[in-house]
Structure formats: C-alpha cells, structure tokens
A and B are shown apart, each in its own frame.
Chain A
Amino acid sequence: MELIISRAEILAILPAGILFITGLVQLFSDLGKSGDDTRSEKTHLAMIGGAGLLLALAALFVQGTAASTGSLYAGAMTDDLFGRMGAGVVMMTALFCTLMSGGYLASSANNRAEFYALICFCAGAMALLCQATNLISVFVAIETLSLAVYVLAGYFKENRSASEGAFKYFVLGAFSSGFLLLGMAFIYGTTGGSISFSDIAASNGQGDSLFSIGTLLILIGFSFKIGAVPFHSWVPDVYQASPTLAVGWMAVAVKASSFFALCRFLLFTGGGQELAQILAAIAVVSMLLGNLAALNQRSLKRMMAYSGIAHTGYLLIPLVIVVSGEGASAGASIPFYLFAYAATTLAAFGVITAISVGTDRDDVSDLDGLARSRPFLAIGLTIALISLAGIPLTAGFIAKLMILQGAVSSGFLTLALIAIITTLISVYYYLRPVVAMWFREPRSSFDLVPAPWGVIFTVAVCAIATVSIGIFPGWLVNLSRLSVETILG
C-alpha cells in the first residue's frame, strides 16, 4: 500500500483540517484567562472562528465544481461537488453561529472558548461526514460530531433542564449509534466484507434479506439524527431545554450533514421497493405528526422542533424516489432544500436568539408587537416563516417545488398530495408568530435588550439570501443537479 499522501487527499481534508486547528487555537487563546470574565463579549474568539471558517470556505470554494477526485484514503472518502455543498452548508451555518455566540453567551454569563471550539470541531466532523464514502468513516464522523453536539446541548450546565435535555439526547444518540453500527455489521457480513459504498453497490449481497435489514438499521440510526418519526421524541425536549444557539446549530447543521451522508449512501446502495415503502411511511408520519403537533406549541423552540420534524418528512420524499429506483435525479432537490432550509432556519433562530438574549424566553406571546418595537427583526422572522411555509418569492417555495416536481414526475402523487395538505396545516402555525408580531401591541412589561450585532447581521444576510434564492434560484438548482450527477456518474 502506498503510504505517501497525494495532493488531492490533502486538499480533500483541508477545510476540515482548518476547522480542527481553528478550534484548538480558540481553546488555547482562552487559556489562563480568569474564570469570571464570562460576561464579556470576547470578540477575539468570534474573530478567530470567523477567520478559520472563512479560510475553510475559501478552501472549498477554490475546489469549486472541480470534478470528483474519485476515492481517496483507500476508499474512505472522496472530494466531489456533493460533499463540498454539504460542507458549505455546514460551514456557513457555523460561521453565523459563531458570529451570534458572543452577544448571546455573554448575556447569560457563560462565554467560554469551549462553545466556539466545539462548533468548529463539530463543523469539521460534519464536513468529513458529507465526504465520507465508506461505512467506517461515516461512523467515525457521526460519533465525532455527536459528541460535540451533546456537550453543546448541555452547555448551560447550571441549568437543570438543559442538563436533562442533554442527557436524554446523549442516551438516545448512543442508542441510535448502536443501530447504525449493527446495520453496518449486517451489510459488511452480507456483502463479503465490503465497507466502501461502491464495493457495496457492486457486490451481489443486495438480494439478501439480511442486507435489507442492515440498510434498514442504518436508516433507523440516521432517523434519530435527522429527527424522523418515530425516532423523534427527543427533538422537542432537547430543543426546548438547550441554549437557543445550540438548537439553531442542531436544527440546521446536524440535519443537513446527516441528510447529505444518507443521500450519498442511498444513491449508491438503492434499497428496493420494501425499503422505499418503509421510507415513504416514515416520511408521511413525519409530515403529519410534525405539522399537527406544531399546531399546539406555545414555545417557539418547540414549534421549530416539530416544524423541523415535518421538514424532515418533506426531505425524505426525494429519498423515497431514489430508493425505489424511479429516478435518482430526484436526489438533486436535497442539496437545494438543505441550503434553503439553512438560510431560512438561521434567520428564524437569529430572531429567537435575539428575543431570548438575557431573558431566555421564547413564548409566541413574547413576540407581541415586535413589528413596532423591532421592525427589522419582525421582517426577518416573517420572511423566514413564509419561506418555511413554502410561499412563493422565498427559497422555501422553490425547494418545495423541486421536491413536489420530483414526486409528481416519478408517479408519487399520494406523497405529493400529503405534502401539500400538511403544508396547508403548517401555514396555520407559521402565521401565529406573524399575528403576534404584526397584529398585536407590544407589552410594556417585557422589554427587549438590544440585539447583539452578530444576530442582526445573521438575520439580515439569511433573510436576504432566502428572498434572493427564491427569486433567482437557477444557479443553486444547477449546482444541486450537478452535484448529484457527479455521484451517479
């Protein structure tokens, strides 16, 4: 075996490598500081993080749409457009979360370097997950990012409910890792010892029922991460208990990177009709339960949790089509949807963060009269909610259009119809914050502290991105299509 690492292999891990180094620098830069300056904004941490993330994004950008390098590190990973898009979503999310961290953490007297560093480590692991092409590297990347997210979820360690949420997340997450590993073992056994996706696709173990069970178990493992019904029960509790910023990070980055990995895996292995039916059932119940349960939430974070479950359901529709073999090109809507979802959700969580700064409140009624007191934040959240509801002129609409178009053209009319009906239900609860912000008067008893600049910046950029992708989505659609085509070859 050749031990010399090639240039392509270095380039492939460069972005993730930059992030790991950035995280370390952040940790060291905060060493020796006294413990009680956790109230200051610590701009240097955000600066280091921002610089590192921009550098990593630049490293991604330099590669651009360059052709896939084929398998690297003996089949453990690859460097292709699909992976770069996944890494791109994750790193941009990390950038915004880092920018928002300073003001948010300082206001809760918890500003420590760990938070920034964990986001960088986590983002690095996610970038690798999006590029992973064998089972082992998928598992290692998932475990790495999960460990970081467990800590982020319980970051406010003085807060009992946060600790409880983090513990719940940890136990269930560990449990799901077990499923994932067991599934991998089944596949390893039935395909004559193959671990790389392409070997699995080429092997003749596909017909084996144990192979199907293995794929199913992997699917279950991922279902925990993406919060699909019936493996969703941790989502609302953890979302409600965790620091708002960590929730935004989980909602976007964990979901996006898991979907990129799952999509790549399923594009290789397919799965057949039974698996497609199971996946379709998961999609349907996720859409239904997510949207119905969201109807009754007073807490914005819980509402976003259930809405996230519903969006997982929508995102599973293209995967159903891919798995059933009706049209692998339907997978192209996944990168697009995740980009749109990231911009939209970050704008929403930016506003929720701004409201919960210093007060830790996130009730829908806390938004009362926001259009008067903070018109800018109100417009940002309104755009985000409209986009989540899939109403035109927003990225969310184009994303839904792509998914439904895929479903209609592959003959999955029932799935499309359910998606439409549940979207209608979702309009009701997405409008509730809009009603509070625009139609009600501000309550004098509850004063908002000024929003930190990082939050304002994030909301502005993400809301503008949501609208401009909604009006000019062509480039992103092409990029998404191209990325899936490179995998299909």
Chain B
Amino acid sequence: MIPELESFNLPVLSLITLTPAIGAILLSLVDRNNKALLRQAALMISFLTLLFSLLMIGNFDNAVGTMQLEEQHTWIESLGISYHLGVDGISVLLVLLTSFSMPLVFLSTWSAIDDRVKEFQIALLLLQTGMIGAFVALDLILFYFFYEAMLIPMYLIIGIWGGRERIYAALKFFIYTMVGSLLMFLAILYLYQHTGTFDLPLMLERIRSTHPLGPDQQFWLFSAFTLSFAIKVPLFPLHTWLPDAHVQAPTAGSVVLAGVLLKMGTYGLLRFSIPLFSDAAFDLQGVMCWLAIIGIIFGACMALVQNDIKKLIAYSSVSHLGFVVLACFIPSVEAITGGILQMVNHGLSTGMLFLMIGIIYERRHTRELADYGGLAKVIPMYTIFFLIAVLSSIGLPGLNGFVGEFLILFAVFRDFPLWGVLASTGVVLGALYLLNMVKRFLFGPIVHEENRTVADLSVREIIYLLPFVVMMFWLGLYPAPFINMVKPTLVLYVEMLKS
C-alpha cells in the first residue's frame, strides 16, 4: 500500500522556505574556485525547492478557501512572535511562481556570472528564502523578517554584479525600500499594541469583532502599510528606483526583481493593507485607483520613448503592475482573480524578456536599440522565443497575458466604466511600444556588421526558456486549474470585504 502524501505530515511550507537557506549555508563550505560544483549545487537546491512546491500543490485542497497546510510553533514567546506559515489562494500561485523561476534563473547565470560565483549563488538562494517566506508567513513580525531579509541579498546582487552606476542604483533601491518598511514596522507594533497579537488571522478576527480600529487609526495604518507596498510595486509616483535598479542589475537580478520581488508589493496590498483596514481601503479606493491608472499610462508613455531595452521593459513593468493594483482595489472576485493571474503572467513574460535581453547582452554587450536591427534573419530561434514573450506581455489571446488582463478590465468596466476606458488605453499603448521595440530590435535591415555573426540560442538557453513558453501557453489556453486554486479563497475574501 502506498501511503498518502499527507500522512507523512511533512512541514511542506517550511521545507520550501528553508531549503534554499540551508543550501546557502552548505554552499558556503564549498571551495570558491570550484565554480562548476557551486553552480550545479545551487541548481539542484532550487530544483529540490521546486519539488517541494509541487508537493505543496499536491496537498493543496482547491475546495477550501481558508488557510491551508498551516504550521504554527511558538518562536519568541516573550515577544508574542510565532512561527506561523500557511498558504491560501492568494499566495499559492506566487510561491509556485517563485520556485518555478529560480532554477531557470540559476541556469541562466552559468554563463553570465563568472566573478565571485560563490557569493552570487548564496545571495540568490538567500533571496529565494526571503521571497517564499514572505509569501507564506502569517505572523506579521515573521513576515517582516522575510520581507527585510530580501533586501540585503538583492542590494548585494545589484551592487556587486551590476553595471556602471550600480552603487547608486543599489543604494537607491535600499533606501526607498527601507523608508516604506520602517514605517510599516511601526504600524505593525501599533497593531500589536491594539490587538495584542502579531498573528495575522487572529488579528483580522479581532479587528473585525472585538478590537475595531477608528477611522483615523485606519487611515494612518493603511497609509503606513500601503506606502511600503506601493514602493515595492512600484506605484506611480514612487517608481523612480525601479528603472535604475533594473538597468544596473545583472540579468538574474532583473529577472528576480521583476518576476517575483515586485509582486511582494501587490501581494502585501491584498494580504495586509486591504483586509486589515478595509474601511480606509474603501475610502481611498479612488486615490489608489487613479494612481494605478496614471501609472499604467505614464509607464506606457515612458516605455514608448526608451532606447535602452532594459529600461523599456522596466517601464512596461510599472504599467503592467498598475493593472494589478487597480484589480486589488476593485472588490470583486473576477478583478482580484485577474490581478493574481496578472502577477503570475507578468512574472513569466517579463522574467523571460529580461532573460532574453541578458542573452543578447552577453553576445553584444549593448542594450541600445539603435545598435540592433535585422536580427530575425541571423538568430531565428531567438526571434521566435522573443516574439512569444512579447506577445504574452501584450496580452494576445491564447497566451497567458490575455486571461488576466481580460478579467481585470471586465470587472473594472462593469463597475467603473471611466477607469475601464483609461486602463484599456494602457493595453493599446502596450502593444505599441512592445511591437515598436520588436521592430527596431529584430526586424528591418542589418545596420551594424557585428550583428551578422551573433550566435543563436544554445541548448542550455533553450532549456531554461522552454518552461516559460510552456507555462505561457498553458495559462493562456487552459487557465482553469489555476483559477480554481484561487477562486474559493477570493469568494470568502470579497465576502469579508463587503460585510
């Protein structure tokens, strides 16, 4: 008889969260000159994490809308801090996205990073623990631990392996993030004082029953939390750190930043800001949605005029995440489902775009659009993959981007037609700047002689790009399994918001 997986009672979430960190500790014992071993070991560790994530999906019950696979242990009893993990429909896909992208990112760094390989792998692994931990933590201080723990590795990744202006970009990234998170920290302490617990489910319950917050309290606490998350997203006008960070970061850094780290902001809005302070969230719905819409259009316009490919994609992130923020503040199951799918979609398409820009950068050492042109004939394989990623980002039906955007716009149009119209212009502009980029990048005549000899994708590169393409088609053609995972949670979530 084969015992069921559940009967093992594995602490799945702890395994997913802590495997990379333990791996990082083990890696620190490896000789720094043995680069091959370091690279392979880090890849294996991230694969192991992915396996644990699949185990999580296997044990995840789609019919349940509350927290699942919970683990709770006392940790720092005297300060009221517990080790409490859990997933629900809001976080499960994001955990999966993170553990899905990381092995591919590791594979991509084999050729891109040759200096201080050991430190790089360790930093990426620690970053992974921080990201997954923040998605599954249900204790506010534990969340804050992971949330801040992402900061140092990312700072080092930008600062050590980044481009020419890396020190400036790293510092800007760090300071911006710290501004938000420190104020959030104060708000967390205030909430503890008010409700007597750091435990999120318990706190939610107490705020909704025995310890209600006054309007002023709600306003300030909401502002403190939302500022922190809005910087992470980044929401207009707090986005200025993002283009710098993206342009200076090494490819792997950009991929993680766009693919996962930015989602921390929108996830935080959904998990903390909105349910904890729902009155303030409703009062400020207009402000937040307008900022999101300005971000959508502003990001798209900025992307239109960029000559640096990486900067263009960075601004497209500002635009795309505007849709997600908009979705978060529309209290309907469709909108938020779309928002969560859009987070995953953006992670896939932008992650892949950054990887592909990294590939061409390794060959030509430039990211200026003017230095390219006509590559389609030279590197056809690259062109096909790149086009798929671009079309997914534009939201072509049949690819993943469409599903999320459609659900969001559908819900927004129904309740707020004006916002719907304005947001839709972002889709049009998106097609414009992305196709324009493709035209200048890959098509047209070959102006520069160097471009005639560029090598096409290697086997290793195809291996790490292919999973992205598979997921794009899967999400685009048959998103039902993913929507089913999300939906029960969101039904309860929206009910709670409206009560």
- Residues on A lying within 8 angstroms of B by beta carbon are 371, 386, 391-393, 398, 401-402, 404-405, 408-409, 413, 416-417, 420-421, 423-424, 427-428, 431, 435, 438-439, 472-474, 477-478, 481
Question: In the bound complex, what is the Cα–Cα distance between A473 and B77 (angstroms)?
Answer: 10
Instruction: Say how far B184's CB is from chain A's closest CB, in angstroms.
Output: 10
Does B151 sit within 8 A of A, measured CB to CB?
Answer: yes
B189 touches A401 (CB 8 A): yes
Q: Which residue of B lies closest to A479 (CB)?
A: B78
A405 touches B189 (CB 8 A): yes
B78 touches A477 (CB 8 A): yes
Does B263 sit within 8 A of A, measured CB to CB?
Answer: no
Does B48 sit within 8 A of A, measured CB to CB?
Answer: no
Find the residue from A401, A409, A416, A421 having the highest chain B CB count within 10 A. A401
A-contact bits for B383-418, CB 8 A (1 contact / 0 none): 000000000000000000000000000000000000
B76 touches A409 (CB 8 A): no
A391 touches B151 (CB 8 A): yes
Q: Which residue of A lies closest to B186 (CB)?
A: A420
9 closest pairs, A vs B, by CB?
A477-B78, A392-B148, A392-B145, A439-B159, A408-B189, A409-B193, A420-B182, A474-B76, A408-B193
Question: In the bound complex, what is the Cα–Cα distance between A478 and B77 (angstroms)?
Answer: 9
Residues of B within 8 A of A427 (CB): 174-175, 178
Can you list 29 contacts pairing A with B, beta carbon distance less than 8 Å? A371-B119, A391-B148, A393-B145, A401-B79, A402-B79, A404-B185, A404-B189, A405-B79, A405-B189, A408-B189, A408-B190, A417-B186, A420-B182, A420-B185, A420-B186, A421-B182, A423-B182, A424-B175, A424-B179, A427-B174, A427-B175, A427-B178, A431-B155, A431-B171, A438-B159, A439-B160, A472-B76, A473-B79, A474-B79
Q: Contacts A402-B79, A405-B193, A408-B190 known; list 17 others, CB within 8 Å.
A: A391-B148, A392-B145, A405-B189, A408-B186, A408-B189, A408-B193, A416-B186, A416-B189, A417-B186, A420-B182, A424-B175, A424-B182, A428-B175, A438-B156, A439-B159, A439-B167, A474-B79
B78 touches A481 (CB 8 A): yes
Does B149 sit within 8 A of A, measured CB to CB?
Answer: yes
Question: In the bound complex, what is the Cα–Cα distance between A438 and B76 (angstroms)?
Answer: 33
Does B69 sit within 8 A of A, measured CB to CB?
Answer: no
Residues of B within 8 A of A438 (CB): 156, 159-160
Instruction: Say how far A54's CB is from chain B's closest CB, in angstroms.
Output: 29
Residues of A within 8 A of B148 (CB): 391-393
A473 touches B76 (CB 8 A): yes
Residues of B within 8 A of A391 (CB): 148, 151-152
Residue from the list B145, B170, B189 in contact with A439, Cβ < 8 A: B170
Q: Which residue of B lies closest to A470 (CB)?
A: B145
Question: In the bound complex, what is the Cα–Cα distance between A404 and B148 (angstroms)?
Answer: 17
Instruction: Say how far B157's CB is from chain A's closest CB, in angstroms.
Output: 11
Residues of B within 8 A of A401 (CB): 79, 141, 189
Question: In the bound complex, what is the Cα–Cα distance between A371 and B144 (angstroms)?
Answer: 28
Q: Which residue of A lies closest to B191 (CB)?
A: A408
Question: In the bound complex, what is the Cα–Cα distance between A42 and B261 (angstroms)?
Answer: 53
Does B482 sit within 8 A of A, measured CB to CB?
Answer: no
Instruction: Say how far A469's CB is from chain B's closest CB, in angstroms.
Output: 11
Residues of B within 8 A of A393 (CB): 145, 148-149
Find the residue from B79, B159, B175, B182 having the highest chain A CB count within 10 A. B182
Instruction: Say how far A124's CB is from chain B's closest CB, in angstroms.
Output: 32
Residues of A within 8 A of B185 (CB): 404, 420
Q: Which residue of B lies closest to A382 (CB)?
A: B152
Q: Which residue of B lies closest to A481 (CB)?
A: B78
Question: In the bound complex, what is the Cα–Cα distance between A416 and B167 (angstroms)?
Answer: 30
Question: In the bound complex, what is the Cα–Cα distance between A74 and B189 (angstroms)?
Answer: 44
A405 touches B149 (CB 8 A): no
Does B67 sit within 8 A of A, measured CB to CB?
Answer: no
- Residues on B lying within 8 angstroms of A by beta carbon are 75-79, 119, 141, 144-145, 148-149, 151-152, 155-156, 159-160, 166-167, 170-171, 174-175, 178-179, 182-183, 185-186, 189-190, 192-193
Residues of A within 8 A of B156 (CB): 438
Question: In the bound complex, what is the Cα–Cα distance between A115 and B39 (angstroms)?
Answer: 49
Q: Which residue of A lies closest to B145 (CB)?
A: A392
B151 touches A404 (CB 8 A): no
Question: In the bound complex, what is the Cα–Cα distance between A38 and B152 (angstroms)?
Answer: 43
Question: In the bound complex, what is the Cα–Cα distance between A158 and B68 (angstroms)?
Answer: 70
Residues of A within 8 A of B77 (CB): 474
Question: In the bound complex, what is the Cα–Cα distance between A487 and B283 (angstroms)?
Answer: 49
Question: In the bound complex, what is the Cα–Cα distance between A61 and B410 (angstroms)?
Answer: 69
Residues of B within 8 A of A398 (CB): 76, 79
Residues of B within 8 A of A472 (CB): 76
Find the residue from A413, A424, A439 having the highest chain B CB count within 10 A. A439
Residues of B within 8 A of A473 (CB): 76, 79
Find the residue from A402, A408, A478 having the highest chain B CB count within 10 A. A408
Q: A473-B79, A478-B78 are in contact. Are A386 and B189 (CB under 8 A)?
A: no
Question: In the bound complex, what is the Cα–Cα distance between A398 and B185 (angstroms)?
Answer: 12
Instruction: Say how far A480's CB is from chain B's closest CB, in angstroms.
Output: 9
Instruction: Say how far A340's CB is from chain B's closest CB, in angstroms.
Output: 14
Residues of B within 8 A of A392 (CB): 144-145, 148-149
A477 touches B174 (CB 8 A): no
Instruction: Say how far B295's CB is from chain A's closest CB, in angstroms.
Output: 25
Residues of B within 8 A of A402 (CB): 79
Q: A391-B152, A401-B141 are in contact. Are A435 and B179 (CB under 8 A)?
A: no
A420 touches B183 (CB 8 A): yes
Q: A391-B148, A392-B149, A420-B186 are in contact. Are A431 and B193 (CB under 8 A)?
A: no
B192 touches A424 (CB 8 A): no
Question: In the bound complex, what is the Cα–Cα distance between A438 and B115 (angstroms)?
Answer: 12
Instruction: Say how far B228's CB is from chain A's closest CB, in angstroms.
Output: 12
Residues of B within 8 A of A386 (CB): 152
Instruction: Say how far A421's CB is from chain B's closest CB, in angstroms.
Output: 8
A435 touches B167 (CB 8 A): yes
Q: Which residue of B lies closest to A405 (CB)?
A: B189
Question: In the bound complex, what is the Cα–Cα distance between A472 and B78 (angstroms)?
Answer: 11
A474 touches B174 (CB 8 A): no
Question: In the bound complex, what is the Cα–Cα distance between A398 and B179 (angstroms)?
Answer: 19
Residues of B within 8 A of A435 (CB): 159, 167, 170-171
Residues of B within 8 A of A416 (CB): 186, 189
Residues of A within 8 A of B183 (CB): 420
Residues of A within 8 A of B149 (CB): 392-393
Residues of A within 8 A of B75 (CB): 474
Instruction: Say how far A377's CB is from chain B's closest CB, in angstroms.
Output: 15
A474 touches B182 (CB 8 A): no
Residues of B within 8 A of A409 (CB): 193
